[in-house]
Structure 1
């Protein structure tokens, strides 16, 4: 075997066939498991050989750099599926999965013969001959896979809602790969690595760099991504993140006190400078306990019933929005401040009926309340009104099953699964008692 040209130090000719050879230094051969990298370019043509040399040489130089860095190449597990397929291609072979080889005895025998002639290589080259490598995925590709797999759930969401769901997943992957120092194949992610990541998050919590809830979300999001990928490939086994949890802090918003609302919100028209639609939307929450998203997404033709014997709204999925859970579907009679809001805006809160409307309204109103001293503490926000609504129902001894229904929460009791539930005429009676919490409701009378 002779060198083809001094300018191409690793290109050789054996007979009339071109071969790539790269000698491995003696002190690195233990890591490589061989003395040289040698690949037949499967051609006698000079131009074809030069083209293949340009493909093969950078690949094996990269392997040499790994050896110099102390990485072992004796195991096939340190290469991706794509890299193993590439080995077959560079050696002029077609990578064929083992199950297909076994279905064609002639092809299997020929593959075995070729493997024997090549010196029965082991590790990654053995996998490239007999197709035992399996497709895998890098950590950085998990979110894209999740979006494709869960398209039936994501497609109905607005751009903002989709971002709120996807961005935390992307951030979790970013945190993990930053800890690992590189993007790796999912199959190569070990339990020890995830335990070390978990330990590093503990240290960040201890140094107050992050909160326990944040760390818990990183772990949960990675578990969701990996589980989604595994289930899509009929793998129901545990993930390497299972059992690694944090005790999350209670970040629930505190409820407003009834006295604070009576004295600060209703005694005078402190909301006079807030645009009327935003004010009505805020006040609609007070005696319904609904979220902005639920109220802004109402279909005025089918879900706002002001002319009914009992004025009410219907919270259900429609073309404007999905519900957070199936339990959020409910019919809520309108009383007190919420009734006044819908009387002023009988077609709904159209200014905020867009996909980003609820978020825009939330930002505007929270800022207004903060600037005007309308938050009871720094921990309070609009969502605190839902907690207040729950406390008010408790205070007025509304049956617990009905409380769950009006809040849109799941009732774990068996009783809720029987019958048709409470009639609207009975629900409104309970709600009217609750609306009597407000001393100054008459100030808004027309």
Structure 2
């Protein structure tokens, strides 16, 4: 606690010399025997006296807080009490003109004069006290940080990881936190809600081995997890621990999860819709009657843009350029919305079924804006009801894989494919993927044919 507004409180002028005078609160008289505290501040300057008074007042407040916490009992209160006692020692040493040092450090000081000065100050005027001795002789060691995993995570979400969330939308923040919270939940379930400082190499190894066991064939017949999944969950607890201690100013602490990384690659690959399936089963007039116009438009846009569902549903009016010589959409971040990667920012010409679909919703998708989970759920429901998923491996995202396959099979240049998919191009860059007209002409070659009746059927305000 800082004491910038005490005025002349606890100060007494005795013959031109200032003293710190303060009574021990009644509730602490049984444990703090000083009764009336009187400390000579050794100055005739009121300004200097106030500065020294502030240090002593802070030290006493911290001491009494420590005593109150000790009275509460319990491990957590005990740790907080030790922390407050250390704070009191630091403040009291500073008020006496010294830097607080642990007793081991004082004992090894090469300058014997400082040690003598500290001893003399403790016993000056025969006024030695336990509190003063603790402060000047290093008897109030800094308490170990006993913050638990769950406590650290709440601080992580609210303060430490502020930068991570700054440019995210509300839905993106929710998804981000949900993923992190799931990882922390796994750790607590296996190892308990222990203090971060107690995550030793043995604890980390045991946790890593548990994830390894889940990567093997399971006796209950459930699917093994992928190396990427295990790495993500281990990485999240590692990151929490590292960033928490960095936030607390502790940077010399060893990482118990060091070198824990599963290098195996998953052979699973999400399936893509075949051209025949899209043309014969999905681009069917009247198939999506009963769905919102917005949802119908989103389906057709996914087919011919290869965009991620979240990129389509969050298009703003200014991102939709229907009156341009080459009608297109802009995939770009907002102040409060991130894209998946920096390479995801791009321009996609509207060809085939995507152009009339976008004209159905020229101002975007208000009902679904920042509601990616709702869109995914509604699309999946609509496709399951109509039996439009050829296998258990097919998902709505399969449209994106199908779009990429069509570009490859259609002979589109690698750089153009990367530009349209929003993928990083690891080859030397000599351009930006071509003009919009060039992109449009290339995409027209692979666009699905569709019936003009596709947009003549009514739609409801259903899903």
The answer on 1:261 being equivalent to 2:278 is yes
Q: What SS class does the counterpart of residue 167 from structure 1 fall into?
A: helix
Q: Secondary structure at the match of 1:434?
A: coil
The alignment partner of 1:160 has SS state of helix
Structure 2 residue aligned with 1:144, among 148, 154, 158?
154
The answer (yes or no) to whether the contact 1:314–1:331 under 8 Å persists in 2 is yes
Rounded to whole Å, the distance in 2 between the matches of 1:383 and 1:428 is 22
From 309, 320, 333, the equivalent of 1:317 is: 333
Query: CA shift at 1:382, angstroms?
Result: 1.0
Instruction: Give distance in 2, aligned partners of 1:196 and 1:170.
Output: 20
The equivalences for 1:317-396 within 5 A come to: 317-318=333-334, 321-353=337-369, 355-356=370-371, 358-396=372-410
| 1:162-181 residue CA offsets vs partner (Å, 9 max, x unmatched) | 12111222232232233233
**TM-score under structure 1 normalisation?**
0.71
Alpha-carbon deviation of 1:395?
A: 0.6
1:279 aligns with 2:276: no
Q: Tell me if structure 2 keeps the 8 A contact 1:311–1:334.
A: yes
State the match for 2:177 in structure 1: 166
Q: CA deviation at 1:285?
A: 0.9
Going from structure 1 to structure 2, the CA distance change for 1:240 and 1:319 (only over 3 Å counts) comes to same
State the alpha-carbon separation in 1 of the partners of residues 420 and 172 from structure 2: 24
Equivalent position to 2:421, from 407, 418, 429: 407
Give the Å deviation of 1:161: 1.8
In the TM superposition, what is the alpha-carbon distance from 1:87 to its structure 2 partner?
Answer: 5.7
Question: Post-superposition shift, 1:371?
Answer: 1.3
Matches within 5 A, 1:417-436: 418-435=430-447
1:66-107 per-position Cα deviation (integer Å, ceiling 9, x unaligned): xxxxxxxxxxxx998635225669xxx645599995379699
Stretches of structure 2 lacking an aligned partner (at least 5 in a row): 1-29, 36-64, 102-113, 457-463
Cα distance in structure 1, aligned partners of 2:162 and 2:117: 40
Alignment correspondent of 1:228: 243
Supply the distance in 2 between the matched residues of 1:329 and 1:56 (Cα, whole angstroms): 57
Contact 2:301 2:354 in 1 (8 A): yes
TM-score (norm 2): 0.69
Equivalent residue of 2:338, what SS? coil
C-alpha deviations, 1:28-74, integer Å up to 9, x for none? xxxxxxxxxxxx933277xxxxx999864664xx58xxxxxxxxxxx
Deviation at 1:195, TM superposition (A): 0.2
Q: 1:399 to 1:235 in 2, by over 3 A?
A: farther
Partner in structure 2 of residue 183 of structure 1: 194
The 3 A distance-change label for structure 1 pair 349 and 144 is same
How many residue pairs align between the two structures? Answer: 373
- Aligned residue in 1 for 2:256: 240
How far residue 145 of structure 1 moved from its aligned partner, in angstroms, is 3.1
Structure 1 position 385, deviation (Å)? 0.6
Residue in structure 1 matched with residue 31 of structure 2 by the alignment: 41
CA distance in 1, matches of 2:177, 2:417: 32
CA distance in 2, matches of 1:127, 1:394: 74
The whole-number CA distance in structure 2 between the counterparts of 1:286 and 1:127 is 74
The partner residue of 2:208 within 176, 180, 198 is: 198
The runs of 5 or more residues in structure 1 that have no matched partner are 1-39, 46-50, 64-77
CA contact (8 A) 1:333 1:424 kept: yes
Does the C-alpha gap of structure 1 residues 54 and 361 become closer, same or farther in structure 2, counting only changes over 3 Å? closer
Name the Cα RMSD after superposition: 4.0
Q: Assess, with a 3 A threshold, how the Cα gap between structure 1 residues 229 and 127 changes in structure 2: closer, same or farther.
A: farther
Q: Is the 8 A contact 1:335 1:432 kept in 2?
A: yes
**Partners in 1 of 2:269 and 2:153 — Cα distance?**
28
How far has the Cα of 1:160 moved from its partner?
2.7
Q: 1:264 deviation in Å?
A: 0.9
Deviation string 1:350-384 (CA, Å, 9 cap, x unpaired) is 3222x22x321211111110111011112211111
CA displacement, residues 338-358 of structure 1 (integer Å, 9 cap, x when unaligned): 1121122222223222x22x3
Q: CA deviation at 1:265?
A: 1.0
Q: Is the 8 A contact 2:86 2:142 kept in 1?
A: no
SS in 2 for 1:203: helix
SS in 1 for 2:389: coil
